[in-house]
Structure 1
Amino acid sequence: MIKILDRILLFLCSLVIGILSIGLLALSFQWIKLPNVETVLDSFYRDMIARSTFIALSILFLLISIRFLYVSVRKAGPDVSSIDQRTDFGDIRISLETIENLSLKSTSRVRGVKDLKARVTVNDAGLEILIRTIVDGEISIPHLTEEIQRSVKGHVEEVTGIPVASVSVYVANINHSPSFKSRVE
Structure 2
Amino acid sequence: MAKILDRLLLFIYSLSIGILSVVAILLLSGAMPYEISLQEEQNLWIAAIVVAAVLFILSLRFFYISVRRDRASLPSIDQRTEFGDIQISMETVENLCLKAASKFRGLRDVKARVRVVESGLEILIRAVVDGEGSIPSLTSDVQKGVHDYVGEITGIPVSDVSVYIANLAQSPSFKSRVE
TM-score, length of structure 2 as denominator length: 0.55
1:22-171 alignment runs, 5 A limit: 81-171=75-165
Look up the equivalent residue of 2:126 and give its one-letter code. R
The residue type equivalent to 1:176 in the other structure is Q
The 8 Å contact of residues 127 and 165 in structure 1, kept in 2 or not, is answered as yes
* Equivalent position SS for 2:95: helix
Matched ranges for 1:12-27 at <5 A: none
Residue correspondences, number:
108
Post-superposition Cα deviations, 1:2-32, rounded to whole Å, max 9, x if no partner, equal: xxxxxxxxxxxxxxxxxxxxxxxxxxxxxxx
Question: What are structure 2's unaligned runs of at least 5 residues?
Answer: 1-72
Unmatched runs of 5 consecutive residues or more in structure 1: 1-78
CA distance in 2: counterparts of 1:151 and 1:85, whole angstroms: 23
Render the CA deviation track for 1:17-53: whole Å, top value 9, x for unaligned: xxxxxxxxxxxxxxxxxxxxxxxxxxxxxxxxxxxxx
Q: Deviations over 1:76-116 (max 9, x none)?
A: xxx78211111121100011111100000000111010101
CA RMSD of aligned residues (A): 2.2
Which SS does the other structure have where 1:103 is aligned? helix
Aligned residue for 2:101, secondary structure, equals: helix
Please name the residue that 2:66 is paired with. Answer: none
SS in 1 for 2:172: coil
Q: Structure 1: which 4+ aligned runs deviate by more than 6 Å?
A: 181-185
| Superposed displacement of residue 165, structure 1 | 0.4
> What fraction of aligned residue pairs are identical, expressed as a percent?
64
User: What is the CA–CA distance in structure 2 between the aligned matches of 1:164 and 1:120, rounded to whole Å?
Assistant: 10
Distance in 2 (CA, whole Å) between partners of 1:139 and 1:176 is: 14
What TM-score does the superposition give when structure 1 sets the normalisation length?
A: 0.54
SS of equivalent residue, structure 1 residue 134 = strand
Q: Is the 8 A contact 1:136 1:174 kept in 2?
A: yes
SS of the equivalent of 2:147 reads helix
* One-letter amino acid of the structure 2 residue matched with residue 112 of structure 1: G
Aligned match of 1:176: 170
